[in-house]
Amino acid sequence: MISEFHQLSEKIGQLAELTHALRRENAELRLRVTGLQSENEELTQRIGEAHQRVAALLEKFPALPEDVSQEVSQNSSQKSLQDQELT
């Protein structure tokens, strides 16, 4: 009977150690999530700013005449087909 109490006591001790380890890991993961969320927000903001800069640059370019625009589109399609044939 004493041995059964001893085994139960050991198992309770192991369970307590595991509980503490999991709580520490959980706290570390929460901190990591918070850091990654902050990084994600920063990167999202930087992407938005880059998008605005590119849009501003594109607005500075004159519009292509219709015939040139069609030619560029056709050349792009042909290039895409050639690239697919090479792969």
Per residue in 42-69, pLDDT tens? 999 999 999 999 999 998 888 767 765 6
Give the integer Cα–Cα distance in Å for 16 and 34: 27
Give the integer Cα–Cα distance in Å for 15 and 19: 6
* Cβ-contact 72, 64 below 8 angstroms: yes
Q: Does residue 72 lie in a domain region?
A: no
Q: Which residues contact 22 (CB under 8 A, 6 or more apart)?
A: none
Q: Does residue 86 lie in a domain region?
A: no
Q: Determine the length of the chain.
A: 87
Count up the domains in the chain and report the number: 1
Q: Does residue 71 lie in a domain region?
A: no
Q: Does residue 13 lie in a domain region?
A: no
For residue 32, give its domain range.
Answer: 20-61
Per residue in 5-17, pLDDT tens? 999 999 999 999 9
Torsion of CA 43, 47, 53, 54, to 10 degrees: 150
